[in-house]
């Protein structure tokens, strides 16, 4: 399989049918990547970075973040062979329903969230006012 992944021009990853607000999740990630890209190599405080992400002004932050978490919990992310796919592919695109996102964009967002940590979840009152 390593020859297939490394020889392919682009590897397409099927995450499944749209559901659990996956369209919202992918669009929100794309929107946040647009905010992250200009500052990703700058020194910026976690709080400022968190504020920057939250400035994308999703109408309902709880629904947005919930949909993102559900996207990460899709079965593909729990499979061992994805390491081979993601490391060897020249270009990788995640597809969920009718939406798609490049692996580069997805990882830019993932790295940003890992940098900020769980504090992003508590930065907006609508996320903890349940």
Three-class secondary structure of residue 93 per DSSP: strand
pLDDT at 104: 94
25-29, 48-52, 67-71, 119-123: the lowest-pLDDT one = 119-123
Average pLDDT of the segment spanning 86-111:
91
pLDDT tens for 34-60 read: 888 877 766 666 667 666 666 665 567
User: What's the alpha-carbon Rg for the chain, to the nearest Å?
Assistant: 16
What pLDDT, on the 0 to 100 scale, is given for residue 32?
Answer: 85
Q: What is the mean pLDDT of residues 66-92?
A: 86
- Tokens in use for 48? 């400022």
For residues 5 and 84, is the Cβ–Cβ distance under 8 A? yes
């Amino acid at each position: 399989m390593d020859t297939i992944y490394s020889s392919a021009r682009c590897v397409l990853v099927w995450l499944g049918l749209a559901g659990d607000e996956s369209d919202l999740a992918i669009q929100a990630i794309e929107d946040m990547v647009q905010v992250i890209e200009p500052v990703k190599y700058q020194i910026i405080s976690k709080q400022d970075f968190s504020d920057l992400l939250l400035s994308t002004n999703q109408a309902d932050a709880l629904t947005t973040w919930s949909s993102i978490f559900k996207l990460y919990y899709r079965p593909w992310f729990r499979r061992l062979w994805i390491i081979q796919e993601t490391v060897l592919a020249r270009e990788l695109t995640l597809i969920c329903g009718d939406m798609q996102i490049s692996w580069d964009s997805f990882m830019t967002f993932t790295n940003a969230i890992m940098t900020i940590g769980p504090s992003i979840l508590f930065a907006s009152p609508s996320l903890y006012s349940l």
